[in-house]
């Protein structure tokens, strides 16, 4: 599975820790920046390229981190085909994939620590969409809404 990760200054330290962890776990991981800590940088500059990569299939799943995770989720959901959510616990990390085909996980670098972040990420990465009829029906409705609003 190909993973992409991105963060602004609010998530930079956590991104560096998680990047190393995912490399050690043999994930194919691409870093979309920031390359260094710049207290003046802006989260859309890193999250948008990551979201494009998820939307185009260049990576299978994305992890975006800003200070709260809110800005990252807002940017990521601007891209067609991206289903992003701010996640703070493990249940939603896997259920979001199983039911809603979550493909871009957002974290708050100023909100959670590295140990919880690791558990959330593994719950997200190990989960699979179930494809059950009721879930697909809902996703089809989301596609309709998305197709209308991107016209």
Residue from 58, 70, 116, 139 touching ligand RB5 (CB under 6 A): that is 70
Contact, 128 vs 30, CB < 8 A? no
Is 99 catalytic? The answer is: yes
Q: Which helix (H) or strand (E) holds 58?
A: none
66 binds ligand RB5 (CB under 6 A): yes
33 binds ligand RB5 (CB under 6 A): no
Please state whether beta strands 2-7 and 28-31 pair in parallel, antiparallel, or not at all (unpaired): parallel
Is 66 catalytic? The answer is: yes
Considering only residues 41-60, where is the footprint of ligand RB5 by CB under 6 A? 43
How crowded is residue 41: how many other Cβ atoms within 10 Å of its Cβ? 18
Residues written for the chain: 151
Site residues (vs ligand RB5, CB under 6 A): 8, 10, 43, 66-68, 70-71
Residues catalogued as catalytic: 66, 99
């Amino acid at each position: 599975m190909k993973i992409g990760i991105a963060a602004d200054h609010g998530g930079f330290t956590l991104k560096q820790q998680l990047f190393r962890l995912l490399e050690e776990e043999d994930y194919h991981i691409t870093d979309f920046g920031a390359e260094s800590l710049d207290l003046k940088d802006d989260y859309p500059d890193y999250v948008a390229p990551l979201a494009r990569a998820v939307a185009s299939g260049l990576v299978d799943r994305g992890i975006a981190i800003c200070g709260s995770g809110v800005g990252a989720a807002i940017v990521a959901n601007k891209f067609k085909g991206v289903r992003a959510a701010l996640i703070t616990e493990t249940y939603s990390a896997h259920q979001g994939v199983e039911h809603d085909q979550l493909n871009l996980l957002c974290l708050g670098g100023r909100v959670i620590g590295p140990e919880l972040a690791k558990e959330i990420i593994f719950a997200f990465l190990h989960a699979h969409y179930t494809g059950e009829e009721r879930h697909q029906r809902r996703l089809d409705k989301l596609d309709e809404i998305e197709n209308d609003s991107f016209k």
